[in-house]
Amino acid sequence: MSALSLYVHIPFCRAKCAYCDFASYPHREADGERYFCALGDELASWQPELAEREIKTVFLGGGTPSLMPEEAIARLMAQICACGRVSPDAEITMEANPGTLTPRKLRVCREAGINRLSLGAQAMDDRLLRALGRIHTADDVCAAVAMARAAGFDDVSLDLMYALPGQSRADWLRTLDAAVALEPEHISAYSLIVEEGTPMADWVSAGRVSLPDEDEAVGMQRDAIERFARAGYARYEISNFARPGRECRHNLVYWLRGDYLGIGCAAHSLMDGVRFENPRGLDEYLAGERRVHAHRLSREEKMEEALMLSTRLTRGMDLAAYAAEFGVDFVKAHRAALDRLAALGLARVEDGFLRLTREGMEVQNAVVVELLDE
């Protein structure tokens, strides 16, 4: 039986963060009941395919899934289990805003089968959190971790962001220390990306806020790598760190190009070599629009994705697997570019893998372009 991962998008949130470009809809919780019914209908429509697969991971993302009533989340989990074959040891993650959790909500969600909590901490600094438009405080993060432990969660992840407006290296080091002190099993540390059309982009353009420069951002990334390593977190992807055995199995499916099904508005899927997505708009989804922009990947597209995604991982790209799938010896086909990258200290071939160095990961997009252009 082939494996499958399931992503469920829950687009509601209490307030839109200044940097957010995701499909999220504040102040529309009144549509929640209709939306969860639509999710159930969409899941049921996939039941024949799900019956032939084993669901190895489930990820409830958003938006803010934890904003919704715990009873609705429990019903959704029951529907997932009724429609598909969920592995007994499946990793089942729910994203959560620390300011939306209660002991009862966490207990009900844990009893419903959710066994991994991803907390959007972003910063352990109230000044920076206010600047981002977050609804929680640093104390809320600490309280959320304590509540999660009390509810039986033994797999907690913290999301952090750096290169924030007005953030200094000292600010970032304090956030790193505070995050490590909470002893999560997993930490994601992403650089702020200013997306066009967001309030943050408007503020930067107007000169209302200033961002750390590129050298400062790289320094912050290196601070995270070093601090987490000292605390026992291994870097396994450009922006992700975990205690041994606690890597995010769901996200690894994306990076290793496994099959996944996305349910809900704006959810993307990759099934049997075909990419497709649901409409981004909440109203369009509620009106019944599904599976738009379906596209069967060409061999060349698969080869590009294999390079682009696998080199995000510290394990790198498995050269034997690449040759078996595409019938190409990658090293022979790209020898000149690989030699140039090795001379620059950006990439190396070892133990049957193409791996980027720390410096190579800092310019991963440029490295991939160099290899694709050859």
Return the percentage of the chain with pLDDT > 70, whole number.
100
Give the CA count within 13 Å in the CB-facing half-sphere of 302: 19
Q: Which two tokens stand for residue 38?
A: 């639509």
Give the tens place of pLDDT for each residue, 332-367. Answer: 999 999 999 999 999 999 999 999 999 999 999 999
Place of tokens 């899927």: 269
User: Across residues 35-51, what is the average pLDDT?
Assistant: 95
Can you give the pLDDT at residue 258?
97
| Residue with tokens 């307030």, as numbered in its chain | 15
Contact status, residue 13 vs residue 66, Cβ threshold 8 Å: no
Predicted confidence (pLDDT) per residue in 87-99, tens digit: 999 999 999 999 9
Q: What is the pLDDT of residue 16?
A: 82
Is the pLDDT assigned to residue 133 strictly greater than 90? no
Residue 194 has pLDDT above 90, yes or no: no
Place 15 in a pLDDT band, splitting at 50, 70 and 90: confident
Amino acid occupying residue 71: E
Percent of the chain topping pLDDT 90? 87
Contact status, residue 191 vs residue 221, Cβ threshold 8 Å: yes
Residues near 61 by Cβ (< 8 Å), separated by ≥ 6? 7, 8, 9, 10, 95
Which residues, in sequence order, are CB contacts of 160 under 8 Å at separation 6+? 121, 122, 123, 175, 176, 179, 187, 188, 189, 190, 224
Per-residue pLDDT of 256-273, as tens digits, reads 999 999 999 999 999 999
Residue 167 sits at φ, ψ, to 5 deg, of -90, 130
> pLDDT at position 14, please?
86
pLDDT over 80 (residue 1): no
Mean residue pLDDT of the chain comes to 95
pTM: 0.95
Nearest to 6 by CA among 49, 70, 37: 49
Sign of CA dihedral 142, 143, 148, 150: positive
> In this structure, are residues 337 and 374 in contact, taking their beta carbons and an 8 Å threshold?
yes
Residues 117, 94 contacting (CB under 8 angstroms): yes
Are the CB atoms for 266 and 250 separated by under 8 Å? no
pLDDT at 178 over 80: yes
CB 77, CB 113: distance < 8 Å: yes
Asked if residue 241 has pLDDT above 80, the reply is: yes
CA distance 287 to 289: 6
For residue 194 the two structure tokens come to 């200013």
Q: Is the pLDDT of residue 146 over 90?
A: yes
Q: 197 falls in which pLDDT band (50, 70, 90)?
A: confident
Q: Can you read off the two tokens belonging to residue 345?
A: 């200290």
pLDDT band with cut points at 50, 70 and 90 for residue 373: confident
